[in-house]
């Protein structure tokens, strides 16, 4: 789940769009569905024997996607990922790797894209990004964007700086 208000709004908007689409096609939609007692999938669309798991993925990571497949894949007929258009190529690459590893049919995974901005709201150089990445690795996951890292860095600075008298 996204950590920033902007990320949460995008996440919810994409899920609502997918829910409306599948509902109009006669699917029963279950939000935050538990599958076999495991973690919750964003949406589950069910119609007859078809079970489509739908995940909104603003951040693309092989490890995250592979874990989602392990958690839900065996109970689904298809998995659909909702991703920002700017991250479609990376998602396709990750899904192709997993499909080959797991020997899945070519139509098990599907990707829907939306032209949305999930990047940072400020311009930062490659050198600054590298420093922020390094700081984020030291302090743990930082969410959806460099904005999150900068917010956490500012929060840390304000709470840990020494006050001069």
pLDDT at res. 146: 67
Position with higher pLDDT, 115 vs 48? 48
Cβ count within 10 A of residue 104: 15
- Closest of 89, 29, 24, 84 to residue 53, by C-alpha: 29
Q: How many residues does the chain have?
A: 165
| 157: its two tokens | 């600075």
pLDDT tens digit sequence for 4-37 = 666 788 888 889 999 999 999 999 999 998 877 7
Among 41, 67, 40, smallest CA distance to 53 is for 41
Please check whether residue 55 is in contact with residue 80, taking contact to mean a CB–CB distance below 8 angstroms: yes
Q: What proportion of the chain, given as a percentage, has pLDDT over 90?
A: 41
- Would you state the torsion angle of the CA atoms of residues 24, 28, 29, 35, taken in this order, to the nearest 10 degrees? -150
- How many other CB atoms are there within 10 angstroms of residue 63's CB atom? 8
Phi, psi of 164 (to 5 degrees): -85, 135
Q: What is the pLDDT of residues 49-95, one digit of tens each?
A: 999 999 999 888 888 899 999 988 889 999 999 998 888 999 999 99
Rounded to whole angstroms, how far apart are CA atoms 142 and 146? 8
CB atoms within 10 A of CB 55: 20
**pLDDT, tens digit, 9 for 90 and up, residues 129-138:** 778 777 777 7
Domain ranges of the chain: 5-114, 126-160
Confidence of residue 124 (pLDDT cuts 50, 70, 90): low
Mean of the per-residue pLDDT values of the chain = 83
Q: Which CATH number fits domain 5-114: 3.40.190, 3.30.420, 3.40.1350, 3.40.50?
A: 3.40.1350
């Amino acid at each position: 789940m996204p950590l920033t208000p902007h990320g949460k709004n995008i996440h919810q908007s994409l899920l609502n769009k997918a829910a409306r689409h599948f509902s109009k096609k006669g699917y029963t939609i279950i939000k935050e569905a538990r599958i076999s007692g495991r973690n919750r999938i964003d949406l589950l669309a069910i119609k007859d024997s078809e079970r489509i798991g739908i995940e909104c993925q603003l951040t693309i990571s092989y490890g995250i996607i592979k874990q989602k497949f392990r958690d839900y894949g065996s109970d689904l007929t298809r998995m659909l990922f909702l991703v920002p258009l700017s991250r479609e190529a990376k998602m396709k690459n990750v899904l192709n790797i997993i499909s080959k590893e797991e020997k899945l049919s070519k139509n098990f995974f599907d990707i829907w894209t939306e032209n949305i901005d999930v990047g940072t709201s400020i311009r930062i150089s490659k050198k600054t990004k590298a420093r922020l990445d390094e700081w984020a690795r030291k302090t743990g996951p930082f969410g959806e964007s460099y904005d999150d890292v900068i917010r956490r860095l500012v929060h840390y600075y304000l709470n840990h700086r020494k006050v001069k008298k």
